[in-house]
Amino acid sequence: MGAEFVQFSLTPILIGTLAAIACALPGNFLILRRQALIGDAISHVVLPGIVVAFLLTGVVAAIPMLLGAAGAAVVAVILIEAVKRLGGIEPGAAMGVVFTTMFAAGVLILEQSDTSRVHLDVEHALMGNLESLIWFRADGWGSLLDPVALASLPDELPRIAIVCAMVVALTVLFWRWLKISTFDEGFAEALGIPSAAVGFGLVLTAAVAAVAAFDAVGSIIVIAMFICPPAAARLMTNRLERQVWWSVAFATLSAVLGYVLAGYGPLWFGATHAVSAAGMIAVVSGAILGLACLFGPHRSRIGIGRQDAA
């Protein structure tokens, strides 16, 4: 674990971990609000945003892509709310309608435009490019203190670090609002807590996390991290505070273990090529959820206690 690790593995692992945590934190509240699919929705709807951003600027650069994706996510959130309220239908159906339509529009625009000379395709959108986010100038742990080497860190790292820090800060700052309005929206309103704004802010935060993570690691991780770590964490405890800590631990474990398994796992079995890190991270998070379902101390609550759900 020396120079080679720092150069080739440290930054992808850090980026994967930060992306996983940034998605898992809002995911805790989304699954408790029965809005877990929104992560799925967001990762679908950003595609048209990214494609449109490319068509407008003609380059595949981080900033326009992020802006386009964020714009599409905001449009989708507004459309979902509009369909839900105007149509008077449940949130899941509204999301289904909106994200399918927007994803289809994205694919259509992508097909009709000439993106063959740039690295913009469905595979990139799904898997990201975690393995390529290496730190060229690093030559060992000492590089962490070397300003020249630090300046060549992949752009994705500071970007996802800032987003992750923002998500953590918002979760801490608005903890009471999130907890009370997620549990009992009517009571929260009666207390003077702006429940609707809290819900909207949560979805917006999730969208920002999804877009930042999407840029670095692709939509598979985004979808998996919104749901798997929080869902597994819910099976480990009956306290929201502890659930959030568990979800952070599971997200970190998925990212680290998934990256290592993708890089070295196939070699242990005699294969010659590594597999997709993003795919393996998602698989590990799914395996953790599976284990939590089988052995989690509070798994017995699955499927019971629903008679009170209105």
Partner 1 sequence: MVAAQDGRIAQEPPPSDAALAVRGLTVSYGEKPAVFSVDATFPAKTMSAIIGPNGAGKSTLLKAALGVIPRLSGEILVFGKPIDQARDRIAYVPQRASVDWDFPTTVLDVVQMGLYRKVGLLGRLSGAMAARARDCLARVGMQDFAHRQIGQLSGGQQQRVFLARALAQDADLYLLDEPFAGVDAATERAIIDVLKTLQSEGKAVVAVHHDLSTVRDYFDHVFLINVRRIAEGPVATTFTAETLQATYGGRLAATHLDELAVAGGAQ
- Min separation Cβ 31 and partner 1, Å: 11
Residues ≥6 apart with Cβ < 8 Å to 306: none
Compare residues 147 and 186 and give the one whose CB is closer to partner 1: 186
Compare residues 124 and 179 and give the one whose CB is closer to partner 1: 179
Compare residues 12 and 91 and give the one whose CB is closer to partner 1: 91
Among positive and negative, which fits the CA dihedral 303, 308, 309, 310?
positive
- Min separation Cβ 293 and partner 1, Å: 15
Select from 243, 225, 233, 242 the least CA-distant residue to 285: 225
- Min separation Cβ 191 and partner 1, Å: 5
Compare residues 146 and 189 and give the one whose CB is closer to partner 1: 189
Question: Tokens at residue 282, please?
Answer: 């998602």
Can you give the binding site for partner 1, defined by CB under 8 A? 32, 88, 173-174, 176-177, 179-180, 182-187, 189-193, 234, 237-240, 243, 301, 305-306, 308-310
At residue 154's C-alpha, the angle toward residues 153 and 156, to 5°, is: 130
- Min separation Cβ 301 and partner 1, Å: 6
- Min separation Cβ 32 and partner 1, Å: 6
**Amino acid (1-letter code) at residue 36:** A
Compare residues 8 and 174 and give the one whose CB is closer to partner 1: 174
